[in-house]
């Protein structure tokens, strides 16, 4: 309930003022003639007969009266006149009000110290959340640092994250900027759809142990045989360093009914390539050797000798750690790589590290495998699909983490 006492020159004016100030639903509680004209007491949300409402009316009127008196007291010309009429309790209240206006209270030094400490903490927090730790020279805005963090969640290399974030146009909100970042990611990821399935060619697959080189060759050969016939394919293995290593490829060749040769037992690689000159598709398998292995350089130089006649594709298993993939790239890049193949997409939970290698080294992605089955689990890559998948994996990882965190918090 709201109560108001209104004084006007005549009753009409008083009623108009009531409607203006309290609305058309206001109820007139009393009216009387006074020296200045008419005084009207009106209320909104008033329920007659209610003792509590009546008491509330009295309380509000008393307060209004006191307020008016205080206002008059604060006017210098009227202060002396009114002083005599003010009761002692009210005088004390007025005194307090005056003191407060005259001397705004200053926080004590302890309070100041606390506030300045909090400001310092806030400043440090802001500074610590700005900028890439990899590039101290280039400060980032809050939005950029949030986007940079999202790139990390996707598993991107800091160098690529830096490049992406610095190219973004400022946007009104984080999600719009993130959409922009995903588009740039897609543009940065080089994809080359080699015409191997239509036209054939000479390809050698290199990469770390167990990456899926031989299995991928089996898939490629099988798909090609289905389309062009067994006589159009030849398989060559360089893997004669490990006991029975070439058995796997030999078995594939037998099942598919295609020609199979070994280097150097059946001749040097250039000689073997001449022997299978009629085959439309020639696939060369290599042994997964550690870079410290003495045969590693030997095998690599055999491939280098073929020059551009053989396209070398680096097989990167998506299940490997980012740092391992980087090292693999460093070891094999001297073979003059034409592109890369991502394997084991079906077992992978973070695509960013392999995508970073392709993007930063400008090494086109040529094929993706997503299972061990021959010939089905081999596909042409699409940058947009891979980027979307990479983001989904990051989101999935984020939603999984809070559970163990909560469980951990409960133990403390
Ligand atoms: N889940 C899954 N497994 C795969 C994929 N590609 C290959 N594999 C499996 O990975 C294992 C190793 O595959 P290989 O083709 O022998 O690997 P490699 O690179 O030839 O290995 P090395 O000759 O020892 O260097 C095998 O068990 C394959 O079935 C894939 O895309 N997904
Ligand atoms: Mg193999």
The HSE-up count of residue 19 (CA atoms within 13 Å, CB side) is 6
Q: How far is the CA of 372 from the centre of ligand 2 (A)?
A: 13
The whole-number average pLDDT for the span 8-28 is 81
The pLDDT value recorded for residue 84 is 62
Least confident residue range of 163-172, 228-237, 380-389: 163-172
Q: How many CB atoms lie within 10 A of CB 139?
A: 12
Closest ligand relative to 212 C-alpha: 1
The pLDDT value recorded for residue 372 is 96
Average pLDDT over the chain reads: 84
Q: Give residues with Cβ within 8 angstroms of 325, minimum separation 6.
A: 316, 353, 354, 357
Task: Quote the number of domains for the chain.
Answer: 2
Residue range of the domain that includes 310: 196-381
Domain C-terminal end among 77, 105, 140? 77
Q: How far is the CA of 344 from the centre of ligand 1 (A)?
A: 8
The pLDDT value recorded for residue 367 is 98
The pLDDT value recorded for residue 341 is 98
Cα 235-240-246 angle, rounded to 5 deg: 50
Any domain includes 298 = yes
* Contact yes or no for 219/378 (Cβ under 8 A): yes
The pLDDT value recorded for residue 48 is 57
Work out the pLDDT band at 364, boundaries 50, 70, 90: very high
The pLDDT value recorded for residue 407 is 59
**b/e string for 257-270 if b means 16 or more Cβ within 10 A?**
ebbbbbbeeeeebe
The whole-number average pLDDT for the span 304-331 is 95
Any domain includes 210 = yes
More confidently predicted of 285 and 125: 285
C-alpha of 328 from chain center? 28
- Tally of helices (H runs) and strands (E runs) in the chain: 17, 11
Any domain includes 158 = no
The pLDDT value recorded for residue 121 is 72
The pLDDT value recorded for residue 403 is 54
Domain C-terminal end among 77, 95, 128? 77
pLDDT tens-place string over residues 245-286: 788 899 999 999 999 999 988 899 999 999 999 999 999 999
Q: How far is the CA of 246 from the centre of ligand 2 (A)?
A: 8
Give the closest residue (by CA) to ligand 1 atom 1. Answer: 371
Give the closest residue (by CA) to ligand 1 atom 7. Answer: 212
Work out the pLDDT band at 368, boundaries 50, 70, 90: very high
The pLDDT value recorded for residue 309 is 92
Is the domain of 200 the same as that of 71?
A: no
The pLDDT value recorded for residue 291 is 80
Peptide bond into 366 cis (omega under 30): no
Any domain includes 34 = yes
Domain C-terminal end among 61, 77, 93? 77
Any domain includes 247 = yes
The pLDDT value recorded for residue 383 is 97
Distances in Å between the alpha carbon of 77 and those of 83, 101, 345? 11, 19, 88
Q: Is the CB of 241 under 6 A from ligand 1?
A: no
Cα 160-164-170 angle, rounded to 5 deg: 160
pLDDT tens-place string over residues 211-250: 999 999 999 999 999 999 999 999 999 987 776 778 889 9
pTM of the complete model: 0.70
The pLDDT value recorded for residue 82 is 52
Q: What is the CATH number of the domain that holds 347?
A: 3.40.50.300
Closest ligand relative to 249 C-alpha: 2
Q: Can you list the positions of beta strands (E) in 281-370?
A: 281-285, 311-317, 339-343, 365-369
pLDDT tens-place string over residues 27-53: 777 778 888 888 888 877 766 556 777
Cβ-count burial of 103 within 10 angstroms (0-12 exposed, 13-18 middle, 19+ buried)? exposed
Cβ-count burial of 286 within 10 angstroms (0-12 exposed, 13-18 middle, 19+ buried)? buried
pLDDT tens-place string over residues 48-104: 556 777 777 777 777 777 777 766 665 555 445 555 666 677 667 676 655 655 555
pLDDT at 402 > cutoff 60: no
Q: Is the CB of 158 under 6 A from ligand 1?
A: no
**Of 205, 209, 210, 239, best ligand 1 pocket probe by most atoms within 8 Å of the beta carbon:** 210
Give the closest residue (by CA) to ligand 1 atom 28. Answer: 372
Any domain includes 262 = yes
pLDDT tens-place string over residues 183-199: 999 999 999 989 999 99
**Of 212, 332, 371, best ligand 1 pocket probe by most atoms within 8 Å of the beta carbon:** 212
């Amino acid at each position: 309930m709201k109560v108001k006492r209104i004084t006007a020159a005549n009753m009409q004016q008083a009623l108009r003022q009531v409607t203006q100030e309290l609305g058309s639903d206001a109820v007139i509680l009393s009216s009387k003639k006074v020296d200045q004209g008419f005084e009207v007491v009106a209320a909104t949300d008033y329920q007659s007969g209610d003792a509590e409402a009546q008491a509330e009316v009295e309380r509000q009127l008393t307060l209004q009266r006191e307020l008016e008196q205080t206002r008059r007291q604060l006017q210098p010309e009227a202060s002396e006149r009114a002083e005599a009429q003010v009761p002692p309790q009210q005088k004390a209240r007025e005194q307090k009000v005056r003191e407060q206006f005259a001397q705004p209270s200053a926080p004590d030094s302890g309070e100041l110290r606390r506030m300045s400490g909090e400001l310092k903490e806030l400043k440090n927090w802001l500074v610590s959340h700005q900028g890439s730790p990899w590039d101290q020279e280039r400060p980032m805005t809050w939005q950029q640092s949030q986007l940079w963090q999202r790139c990390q969640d996707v598993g991107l290399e800091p160098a690529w994250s830096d490049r992406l974030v610095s190219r973004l146009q400022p946007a009104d909100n984080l999600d719009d900027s993130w959409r922009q970042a995903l588009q740039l990611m897609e543009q940065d990821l080089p994809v080359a759809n080699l015409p191997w399935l239509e036209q054939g060619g000479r390809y050698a697959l290199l990469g770390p142990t167990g990456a899926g080189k031989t299995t991928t060759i089996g898939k490629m050969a099988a798909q090609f045989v289905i389309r062009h016939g067994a006589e159009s394919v030849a398989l060559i293995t360089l893997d004669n360093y490990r006991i029975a290593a070439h058995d796997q490829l030999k078995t594939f060749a037998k099942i598919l009914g295609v020609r199979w040769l070994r280097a150097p037992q059946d001749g040097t690689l250039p000689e073997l390539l001449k022997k299978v000159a009629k085959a439309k598709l020639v696939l060369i398998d290599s042994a997964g050797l550690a870079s410290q292995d003495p045969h590693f350089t030997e095998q690599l130089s055999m491939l280098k000798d073929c020059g551009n006649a053989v396209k070398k594709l680096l097989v990167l298993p998506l299940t490997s750690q980012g740092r391992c993939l980087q090292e693999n790239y460093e070891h094999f890049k001297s073979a003059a790589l034409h592109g890369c193949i991502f394997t084991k997409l079906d077992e992978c939970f973070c695509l960013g590290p392999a995508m970073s290698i392709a993007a930063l080294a400008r090494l086109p992605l040529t094929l993706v495998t997503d299972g061990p089955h021959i010939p089905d689990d081999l596909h042409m890559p699409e940058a947009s699909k891979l980027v979307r998948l990479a983001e989904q994996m990051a989101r999935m990882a984020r939603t999984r983490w809070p559970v163990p965190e909560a469980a951990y918090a409960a133990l403390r």
